[in-house]
Structure 1
């Protein structure tokens, strides 16, 4: 009798309604994910603290389904201490980008270590590589060649768990590395 390969089931709760879910769906659709990983994406436009609370509710509604729960959120202008504390209590992992998720996308093309004044500046830098970039129309083929480089660049920006304290930084690399391997 053949043994079924065990899979890790991940719930990804995105604080952005378009960009983040489209990026992760793109990874799935492009076949970039490890075969032993499957994930469900949901989205909720909330502050990081409320996003973590929402993720805990979603997890608790299906207690035997998910092996890991991740919240993908931006620092923007939010106070992160409550979200970090709640995530630790709830055993939820955070992929925080400072200042915004588009920094993660930019790292697919270029190293970025200088302070960024906000998402508008990140978008300007990203459009130097994808002139027609539209957060509502993410094409994973634009980013796929740079995933490994983005992971390495993201790792260098801040120690894991301190992404909320440093601009620029992102913890999305941890989640992407888990999903795609490497």
Structure 2
């Protein structure tokens, strides 16, 4: 004899309980793992303020630090902090118009497996490119900073605001790429490799 089918009780059926054991392997597009995480070590406050200003709730995780070390020391620290916690580790440094220093930084970074964004003569070249083209060589880093101050009178190193440059990010990347002109000459004056890092950050999917 077949088993009897229970009669409906007439009461509404409760929805199944919520499964708190979410399968983390089935993350939707834009999840934290896909958004990625970057460790960015800089040599100065200007760079730190710029990159912390890029943080957003929907973008990648950006850990930005300014170690109190010289250029090569910053690269060594980046190598020491290269762990699975970060998808990419970058050093944002100036060449200071010192070719021997630039060569050492490149060799150290390649050996240690970290990325390097060099600017010649300084990071302010990257900021200038948000506002206009820039092809004339700078004799010193101070000369570049003075040019930026003339272009953006409210700017100063200790109060750099990413919001002042945000609208020009795409143009800055295009201009910096043209300055590179497909060469590996990190001493090209002016030039900056920061566009590579910025494009990597912007390429990450939003949540």
Could you tell me how far 1:161 is from its partner in structure 2? 7.4
1:24 and 2:61 equivalent? no
1:116 and 2:138 correspond: yes
How far off its partner does 1:159 sit? 4.9
Q: Measure the CA separation in 2 of the matches of 1:86 and 1:142.
A: 33
Structure 2: any 5+ residue segments left out of the alignment?
Answer: 1-21
- CA change 1:97–1:14 in 2 (3 A) is same
Segment drifting more, 40-49 vs 144-153: 40-49
> Is 1:38 aligned with 2:38?
no
**Residue in 1 aligned with 2:81?**
58
CA contact (8 A) 1:14 1:20 kept: yes
Larger Rg: 2
Does residue 99 (structure 1) correspond to residue 121 (structure 2)? The answer is: yes
Greater mean alpha carbon deviation, residues 170-179 or residues 118-127 = 118-127
- Per the normalisation by structure 2, the TM-score is 0.77
Q: Report whether the alignment pairs 1:3 with 2:27.
A: yes
Could you tell me how far apart the structure 2 residues matched to 1:96 and 1:87 are? Answer: 11
Cα distance in structure 2, aligned partners of 1:40 and 1:87: 19
Q: Which residue of 2 aligns with 1:67?
A: 87
Deviations 1:28-51 (A, max 9, x none): 1xx3x863x222111124333221
Report the TM-score, using the length of structure 1 for normalisation. Answer: 0.87
CA contact 1:11–1:41 (8 Å) conserved in 2: yes
Give the 3 Å change call, closer, same or farther, for CA 159–71 of structure 1 in structure 2. farther
Q: CA deviation at 1:164?
A: 2.4
Q: Which moved more, 1:96-105 or 1:151-160?
A: 151-160
**CA distance in 1 between partners of 2:146 and 2:35 (Å):** 39
Any gaps of 5 or more consecutive residues in structure 1? none
Helix, strand or coil: the match of 1:94? strand
Task: Quote the RMSD (CA, aligned, Å).
Answer: 2.1
Q: Check conservation: 2:95, 2:187, Cα contact below 8 A.
A: no
* Deviation sequence 1:17-75 (CA, Å, 0-9, x none): x10000001111xx3x863x22211112433322110111122xxx2201111000001
Q: How far apart are 1:3 and its partner, in Å? A: 1.7
Change (3 A) 1:129 1:77: closer
Residue equivalent to 2:42: 14
